[in-house]
Amino acid sequence: MNRRTFLRSAGVTLALPLLPSSLPRSSWGSDPGSPTRLLIYYVPNGMQMRWFTPLQEGPGYDLPEILQPLQPVAQHVSVLTGMGNLNAEDVVAGDHARGTGSFLTCVPIRHTAGNDIYNGISMDQVAANAIGGETLFPSLQVGIQPGGNTGDCTAGYSCAYTRNIAWAGPQTPLPNLTDPQVLFDRLFGVDQGLDPASRALRSQLRASILDEVAGQATTLRARVGRDDQLKLDEYLDAVREVEVRVSALGGGSCSPGERPGSGLSYPEHVSVMHELIVLALRCDLTRIVTFMLGPAASNQTYDFIGVPGAHHQISHHQGDPKNLADLVTIGRWEVGQFADLIGQLDEVADGGGSLLDSTLACLSSEIDDGDAHTHRDLPVLLAGSGNGAHAPGIHRRLQPGPGQGPVRPIADLYLWMLQTLGLEIDGFGTDGTQPLEDLDLVPG
């Protein structure tokens, strides 16, 4: 396990980035390297693949309308088309639930709205079981929309299938943290179990988390080299900036348990969660994150980009030009959010490169076309290089391997990602058997 540096004060634990000069003097001449991180980014209701799929294959691909927001980071992102999840197919209704339930498990889910839910283990949790012990949090599940896991959310399928993509086991969905204050408190050790009076007293004693640890930070700065002093200062500035933003959204308080007020818009919420994800990864609090931009069949409205209707309803477009145009607008905004997150990761120095260089970040959805409810050409973006495992910046139309049927299983992508993280496995889900090394996704 990598040695990590902590600042502790008044019940708060801040985990610092790995500072090479804080290691034993005998190791100063060595490069500890950067661990490989995993980020899964789920968007609901599919994409209109006609405006998502580049015409060109290989490097330097064109950017159709939905992908145009990738322009600033296109060199860091590959577009993978032709991948499907046949585990989500069935003759009965419920494609959103099946597609989301099996999104990261790649096994068929049980059709039930009761307590007898049954799924597989998701690929992020396979990774967490293998490498999660190296960080304070084995994995983080982050989302935007809160909601319980009981009841019938769609077509006789439990809400557990539609509101979670991370599964620790067949009957154990892992709920998302959706409140930015709660996520911040979880990451940085604020005690959420205190009653309001105790929280107020603690807030008075600790006007800022950083004020409480300033003395210890000063002591640490005296023991590390110039480069690590700069890294420590950058880290502390980032923590303070996020703390201030989260506090402001919560009505001027960053005390545990308080949620942001009604003034928090949907795009602001997404933006703050992105910052917290980057902060969690840059501080090495976790190396595995799943993020849900919304639940399956989301009815989020997008009036802030000129689309006031409910997303799920619009996705049943029936070929209507207005609906299709609105779906392209929504898709552009979603891809733009992913591009923003990728850009933030690329701005963080990590080892000899950036945090993005050590990360594999994958965006996809539970379906492709929301009207046809199909699962055979899912929108997939793969960003970052995973410490050299992936040569990004290409478009590849994937073909099924021998004996794989009509489409290349997305489970093959997950299998490759798990192997990149160092897991010695030769299969994942029901159909992940042929990892992607043969598809020019790695440096040639």
Return the CATH number at 154. Answer: 3.40.720
- pLDDT in the model for residue 229: 74
pLDDT higher than threshold 70 for residue 208: no
Domain-located, residue 228 = no
Does the pLDDT of residue 8 top 50, yes or no? no
- Between CA 50 and CA 438 the distance in angstroms is 26
Asked if 52 and 66 count as a contact pair (C-beta separation under 8 A), the reply is: yes
Q: Which domain holds residue 382?
A: 34-188+265-439
* Strand 288-292 to 140-143 pairing: parallel
The predicted structure's pLDDT at residue 351? 84
Q: Which pLDDT value is given to residue 16? A: 53
Average pLDDT over residues 343-356: 94
For the chain, the average pLDDT equals: 84
pLDDT at 268 over 50: yes
Nearest to 238 by CA among 299, 288, 280: 280
Residue 206 confidence (pLDDT): 47
pLDDT at 398: 94
Whole-number pLDDT of residue 261: 39
pLDDT given at position 27: 37
Q: What is the pLDDT of residue 348?
A: 93
Beta bridge partners of 228: none
Mean pLDDT of 216-235: 72
How confident is the model at residue 424, as a pLDDT? 97
Position 147 scores a pLDDT of 87
pLDDT of amino acid 59: 94
Look at residues 54, 96, 152, 153 and name the one whose alpha carbon lies nearest to residue 371.
96
- 8 A C-beta contact, residue 362 and residue 379: no
Establish if 381 belongs to a structural domain.
Answer: yes
27 compared with 63, residue with greater pLDDT: 63
Percent of the chain with pLDDT over 70: 77
- Does pLDDT of 173 surpass 50? yes
**246 falls within a domain:** no
Please tell me the total number of residues recorded for the chain in this structure. Answer: 444
Number of domains in the chain: 1
Please tell me the predicted confidence (pLDDT) of residue 331: 98
Q: Is-contact 398 82, C-beta < 8 A? A: yes
Residue 240 to residue 174: CA distance in whole angstroms: 29
Q: Which pLDDT tens digit goes with each residue over 358-384?
A: 999 999 999 999 999 999 999 999 999
Determine the pLDDT at residue 4: 40
Instruction: Tell me if residue 135 falls in helix, strand or coil.
Output: coil
The beta-carbon contacts of 170-176 under 8 Å, at least 24 apart in sequence, are 170/117, 170/118, 170/119, 170/120, 170/121, 171/117, 171/118, 171/119, 173/117, 173/119, 173/149, 174/125, 174/139, 174/141, 175/141, 175/149, 176/141, 176/142, 176/143, 176/146, 176/290, 176/292
Give tens-digit pLDDT for 58-85. 999 999 999 999 999 999 999 999 999 9
Domain-located, residue 16: no
pLDDT band for position 9 (cuts 50, 70, 90): very low
Mean pLDDT value of segment 420-435: 96
Confidence category of residue 245, pLDDT binned at 50, 70, 90: very low
With a cut of 60, say whether residue 6 has pLDDT above it: no
In a domain, 249, yes or no: no
Mean pLDDT, range 238-258, rounded to an integer: 43
Q: What is the dihedral of CA 64, 70, 73, 78, to 10 degrees?
A: -60
| Residue 65 covered by a domain | yes
Please report the sign of the dihedral spanned by the C-alpha atoms of residue 150, residue 152, residue 153, residue 156. positive
Is residue 224, in this structure, part of any structural domain at all?
A: no
Instruction: Give 35-49 as a DSSP string.
Output: --EEEEEE-TT---G
Q: Look at residue 188 in the predicted model and tell me its pLDDT.
A: 74
Rounded Cα gap, residues 294 and 274, in angstroms: 14
Residue 392 has pLDDT above 90, yes or no: yes
Determine the average pLDDT of the residues in 147-158: 94
Give the single-character DSSP code of 253: -
Is 444 part of a structural domain of the chain? Answer: no
CA 161, CA 96: separation in Å to the nearest integer? Answer: 9
More confident of the two residues 3 and 342: 342
Segment 108-113 shows an average pLDDT of: 98
